[in-house]
Structure 1
């Protein structure tokens, strides 16, 4: 049994979440170590002058977070086994939840109709090679040629020999990192980065070095220091507003990072999944340092989520490695989806949808500015999300849980964090994942929570 006890003066409504947050902080800070037995619920209730029901709900919440486990006849114990990472978004949209947790483009019935038309066209024009061949070099030359044209719009000049067509950006990211970071090596990245990067590193046996970021993203001096210490094989960067903090890296910053990468001979893996959506952006790393940059872009965030096709551009020295690792991890992209992407690139539909998305996002950002007036957050006019630091000693778990009780799902910032140095509790809020009306309601609920104007109605404690 532990001597540590929650502080009753710090309890706030809803009391069960406030109590759960105190205990969670004690676990994270080491005041409650693994295996510690928590006081029985009735004793905890008496000590804190709470109802047993409130303490029971707090223990249930801690169990849901994977921090404690109950044993029949023995009580509740701190249990922190290694767990698979949970995604920051809702895996399912259950009940009446306004889902602002998942990063999606704005979509309307028009997008479904466009895809239906493309599938109708495909039913009459499916090439035999896409239906019958097992050989990627037989299926994809036409698609790679279209990819070269799309990549040119993204600011990258390349050839078909350097392009691999993938099933979206996640597959491309996996192949790129497998190609440049063997097991036991270290990959530098922004301290706040893609939520799949940490589990990917764990599965493939390389280490992440999460480096300092500012309003432009990765700080060059931090990369220089990491490279000087040795062991860095590559740097993974999201330089163009799809990163969690919605930062747009400027031209001078990009050039400084390229100079460091060349001096220490490290690879650059550049994730640019918004592609041409972002106007007035600097040239991609793949244009500044084509000899060492593996460049990733895709269509799911700028056209329609169902078009799961991406392009991975590799320098000559990595082409064979990329080809082999793509074969063992995916064999090849789905040919029939690639046919639709190629058609849309060639007939202008893809660029038309990008322009539509840009205009739709402008409306969403205007709604956000109105509903969150006076509340600090960071974003960009073509970002699909907002990033908001939580003030006044709020905890992420508590704030996200309170929002859920109000029917709004948002993503905890810690899901994107690979380094706790100078970390501030934050949340990511998607603005494209639902309707304009639901976005207004969801952002209104977030604003009221931040202003302390809305409390969850619970039974008396």
Structure 2
């Protein structure tokens, strides 16, 4: 058994989370090695003068973070050599299934033609720097300047020198997290949040805590309390509709969260991949706390999926860290894709596609409201999905499985669960991943399942 022990003087409320954070830091610092056996729940509780339930919750939190493995009859052991989790994305489904699980923009043959035309233009207009240079500072000054113009459409004024061109939002959020959350630190986020954050936290070595939310997003008091009692270094937030529950955070809540972040001197990572698609919204969090917010946006969900390019705007204090971490993890964004994005922003094509997308998703939300008449769900008129809480008599796993048996793929809500707080079963349904007729048919299946006899449905699985 290890000689290292947590320091009871450092335990803050909530005690289980503070205790788990101490163990996590010891594991990351090498004071606890892979395979070491931890004290029993009872022994550690007696030693620290805590309840057994508190120690049990701390161990459960460590297991959730992938740092500890519990073995029945043997005890709890440090697990630094972690098994690979299941892929954090939902796989593409075969053509015979109506796929409402993958979050995609509405696409028609026009989008493919637009991209083909852009590639034809690129063949004639490709600059030598984009084809031949290995130096990001040689390739991207013009792209960053145009990126600053695009960010104005997102409600953000920023200097081109503070912009990094990325291969989409995933690369941008990863670099942002690497820049502000060192291994062993803790990042706060929505209790129902981004589905890649949990595995990303494991890979990068930071801890993740899901905070309570309401119809306006993260509760400011919950963030304040977490910052007081844990090693919170950053908050990752999706305030504008792309979050699973389709919440659009208002300006008052954004200002409140910015004030809490400023009070505790934590960074904010704002994931705003829908950008100007959401027509009526408050300014970005980066507007309320520009000195500490790393803002991420991209084009793939609002123009064409193949245009995997985006922008990461960072305040002065993080510019060097962002540049260095982007270099070591990506070197630079793909120049030829960046050329197309820059052309489309400059000539107005990108905004034209955004406006087209906005009208398309609004038509699909009308379809959803018609087919799901009488069913409670949450959506935004400019969003790409809806969030559908299930009745109390339906199991999430069973409902998703039954829909799949009837030819419809939907995303289980638990895929987006960050917090261990009590859970209400729900599903996320994409509005843009199929044709309108397939969407109507798929939503019809969901409606019939919701209105059917749950005992009969259980027998059918």
TM-score, shorter chain, exceeding 0.5? yes
Give the whole-Å Cα distance in 2 for the aligned partners of 1:456 and 1:111. 40
Instruction: Compute the displacement of 1:286 (Å).
Output: 1.0
Give the whole-Å Cα distance in 2 for the aligned partners of 1:233 and 1:420. 20
Give the whole-Å Cα distance in 1 for the aligned partners of 2:399 and 2:457. 12
Give the whole-Å Cα distance in 2 for the aligned partners of 1:350 and 1:136. 23
Distance 1:371 1:88, change over 3 A: farther
Distance 1:322 1:83, change over 3 A: closer
The reply to whether residue 419 of structure 1 matches residue 424 of structure 2 is: no
The reply to whether residue 84 of structure 1 matches residue 85 of structure 2 is: yes
**Residues 175 and 322, structure 1, Cα contact 8 Å, conserved in 2:** yes
Give the whole-Å Cα distance in 1 for the aligned partners of 2:422 and 2:249. 20
Give the whole-Å Cα distance in 1 for the aligned partners of 2:221 and 2:297. 27
The reply to whether residue 236 of structure 1 matches residue 240 of structure 2 is: no
**Residues 88 and 199, structure 2, Cα contact 8 Å, conserved in 1:** no
1:295 aligned residue: 295
Q: What is the DSSP-based 3-state SS (H/G/I as helix, E as strand, rest coil) of the residue aligned with 2:209?
A: strand
1:207-286 alignment runs, 5 A limit? 207-286=207-286
Give the whole-Å Cα distance in 1 for the aligned partners of 2:437 and 2:204. 42
Give the whole-Å Cα distance in 1 for the aligned partners of 2:395 and 2:458. 20
Q: What is the DSSP-based 3-state SS (H/G/I as helix, E as strand, rest coil) of the residue aligned with 1:332?
A: coil
Give the whole-Å Cα distance in 1 for the aligned partners of 2:291 and 2:425. 38
**Residues 88 and 411, structure 1, Cα contact 8 Å, conserved in 2:** no
The reply to whether residue 375 of structure 1 matches residue 379 of structure 2 is: no
TM-score, length-scaled by structure 1: 0.81
**Residues 89 and 196, structure 2, Cα contact 8 Å, conserved in 1:** no
Instruction: Compute the displacement of 1:82 (Å).
Output: 5.1
Give the whole-Å Cα distance in 2 for the aligned partners of 1:403 and 1:229. 43
1:10-30 deviation line (CA, Å, top 9, x unaligned): xxxxxxxxxxxxxxxxxx9xx
1:245-282 deviation line (CA, Å, top 9, x unaligned): 00000011011101101110000000000000101100
1:134 aligned residue: 134
Instruction: Compute the displacement of 1:153 (Å).
Output: 0.8
1:326 aligned residue: 326
Q: What is the DSSP-based 3-state SS (H/G/I as helix, E as strand, rest coil) of the residue aligned with 2:147?
A: helix
Instruction: Compute the displacement of 1:85 (Å).
Output: 3.0
Give the whole-Å Cα distance in 2 for the aligned partners of 1:378 and 1:249. 14
Give the whole-Å Cα distance in 2 for the aligned partners of 1:333 and 1:453. 52
Q: What is the DSSP-based 3-state SS (H/G/I as helix, E as strand, rest coil) of the residue aligned with 1:302?
A: coil
1:445 aligned residue: 445
1:33-48 alignment runs, 5 A limit? none
Give the whole-Å Cα distance in 2 for the aligned partners of 1:290 and 1:386. 31
**Greater alpha carbon shift after TM alignment, 393-402 vs 139-148:** 393-402
**Residues 92 and 102, structure 2, Cα contact 8 Å, conserved in 1:** no
Q: What is the DSSP-based 3-state SS (H/G/I as helix, E as strand, rest coil) of the residue aligned with 2:378?
A: coil
Structure 1 unaligned regions, length at least 5? 1-27, 37-80
**Residues 148 and 160, structure 2, Cα contact 8 Å, conserved in 1:** yes
1:142-161 alignment runs, 5 A limit? 142-161=142-161
Give the whole-Å Cα distance in 1 for the aligned partners of 2:394 and 2:83. 26
**Residues 378 and 387, structure 1, Cα contact 8 Å, conserved in 2:** yes
The reply to whether residue 346 of structure 1 matches residue 360 of structure 2 is: no
**Residues 101 and 411, structure 1, Cα contact 8 Å, conserved in 2:** yes
**Residues 246 and 385, structure 1, Cα contact 8 Å, conserved in 2:** yes
**Greater alpha carbon shift after TM alignment, 99-108 vs 225-234:** 225-234
**Residues 406 and 456, structure 1, Cα contact 8 Å, conserved in 2:** no
**Residues 88 and 412, structure 1, Cα contact 8 Å, conserved in 2:** no
RMSD, aligned α-carbons:
1.9
Give the whole-Å Cα distance in 2 for the aligned partners of 1:336 and 1:317. 30
Give the aligned length: 384
2:35 aligned residue: none
Instruction: Compute the displacement of 1:114 (Å).
Output: 0.4
Distance 1:413 1:88, change over 3 A: farther
Instruction: Compute the displacement of 1:435 (Å).
Output: 0.2
**Residues 372 and 443, structure 1, Cα contact 8 Å, conserved in 2:** yes
Structure 2 unaligned regions, length at least 5? 1-63, 65-69, 74-81
1:422-461 deviation line (CA, Å, top 9, x unaligned): 32111100011000000000000000000016967989x9
Instruction: Compute the displacement of 1:34 (Å).
Output: 7.0
The reply to whether residue 169 of structure 1 matches residue 169 of structure 2 is: yes
Instruction: Compute the displacement of 1:394 (Å).
Output: 1.4
Give the whole-Å Cα distance in 2 for the aligned partners of 1:350 and 1:95. 29
Instruction: Compute the displacement of 1:204 (Å).
Output: 0.5
Give the whole-Å Cα distance in 2 for the aligned partners of 1:230 and 1:82. 27
